[in-house]
């Protein structure tokens, strides 16, 4: 059993999980992660890709300190206690709180009176601060979830398929919004996705995981600045990615 993942005076995320398993209903053991090792540099945006059930969400739970039952070590970026922002598949907003109240509830004491005008403006939420979650579309609720995660000025931003189940146009718009806000407030980011095109659009590095028990098969680094990633460039990157990982099961 490991203690809550902690940060020293780290500038990067370091993951070294020797073993993570679960007990099955018949009393057996399901090995989920084994010898899973990777690093994410400070202010780098990395995406995790791997087949369904390989342990991607389990990895995020370990990083968030929600699952201490594993062997290995995790070093989070930041100072003594890393501030972690998280965006999940569901927005998880309190229905009896307004948009602004939902965002401010996550703020540490020193930021409780912070001016959030710029953040709300960037995410297109300025006119919806007094709305309740039930008055929002799913796309708008996802924007509020992003605002809540970014408002705390996180040392690390963790995202678990934040655009899943959205229509293509809405998902595309939210990816650009996320990039816009993250570019102005850079922080170490790690996002789980099944969408390779999404990873190519957003990330500096794609980390590819194997089937269970999951380990890192390889990485795909993208050093080209995002402003130069037009449709042709993204198509070329996708082709290069598919060539490097030919025969690897990545999609669900």
Q: What is the CATH number of the domain that holds 238?
A: 3.40.50.300
Q: Which domain holds residue 23?
A: 1-83+157-165+187-252
Residue 8 has pLDDT above 60, yes or no: no
Q: Is residue 152 part of a domain?
A: no
Number of separate domains in the chain: 1
Mean pLDDT over 7-24 rounds to 81
**Ramachandran angles phi, psi of 22, nearest 5°:** -125, 155
Structural contact between residues 98 and 114, judged by C-beta atoms closer than 8 angstroms = no
> Is 58 part of a structural domain of the chain?
yes
Nearest Cα to 147, choosing from 165, 128, 168, 164?
128
3-state secondary structure the chain: CCCCCECCCCCCEEEEEEEEEEECCCCCEEEEEEEEEEEECCCCEEEEECCCCCCHHHHHHHHCCCCCCCEEEEECCCCCCCCEEEECCCCCCCCCCCHHHHHHCCCCHHHCCCCCHHHHHHCCCHHHCCCCHHHCCHHHHHHHHHHHHHHCCCCEEEEECCCCCCCHHHHHHHHHHHHHHHHHCCCEEEEECCCHHHHHHHCCEEEEECCCCECEEEEEECCCCHHHCCHHHHHHHHHHHHHHCCCCCCCC
Q: Is residue 130 part of a domain?
A: no
**pTM, whole model, 2 decimals?**
0.91
The two tokens of residue 64 are: 């968030």
Q: What is the pLDDT of residues 38-90, one digit of tens each?
A: 999 999 999 999 998 899 999 999 999 999 999 999 999 876 578 899 999 99
Structural domain includes residue 182: no
Q: Is there a domain that residue 31 lies in?
A: yes
146 falls in which pLDDT band (50, 70, 90)? very high
Q: For 87-100, write each residue's pLDDT tens digit.
A: 999 999 999 999 99
């Amino acid at each position: 059993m490991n203690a809550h993942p902690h940060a020293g005076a780290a500038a990067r995320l370091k993951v070294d999980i020797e073993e993570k398993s679960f007990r099955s209903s018949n009393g057996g053991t399901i090995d989920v992660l084994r010898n899973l090792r990777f690093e994410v540099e400070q202010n780098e945006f990395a995406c995790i890709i791997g087949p369904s059930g390989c342990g991607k969400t389990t990895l995020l739970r370990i990083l968030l300190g929600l699952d201490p039952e594993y062997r290995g070590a995790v070093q989070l970026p930041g100072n003594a206690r890393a501030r972690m922002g998280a965006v999940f598949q569901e927005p998880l907003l309190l229905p009896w709180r307004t948009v602004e109240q939902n965002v401010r509830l996550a703020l540490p004491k020193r930021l409780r009176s912070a001016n959030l005008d710029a953040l709300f403006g960037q995410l297109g939420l300025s006119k919806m601060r007094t709305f309740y979650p039930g008055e929002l579309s799913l796309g708008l609720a996802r924007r509020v979830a992003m605002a809540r995660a970014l408002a705390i000025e996180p040392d690390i931003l963790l995202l678990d398929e934040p655009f899943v189940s959205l229509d293509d146009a809405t998902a595309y718009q939210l990816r650009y919004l996320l990039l816009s806000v993250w570019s102005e407030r850079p922080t170490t980011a790690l996002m789980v996705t099944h969408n390779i095109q999404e990873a190519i659009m957003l990330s500096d590095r794609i980390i590819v995981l194997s089937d269970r028990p999951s380990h890192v098969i390889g990485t795909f680094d993208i050093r080209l600045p995002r402003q130069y990633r037009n449709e042709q460039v993204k198509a070329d990157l996708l082709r290069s990615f598919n060539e490097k990982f030919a025969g690897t099961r990545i999609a669900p």
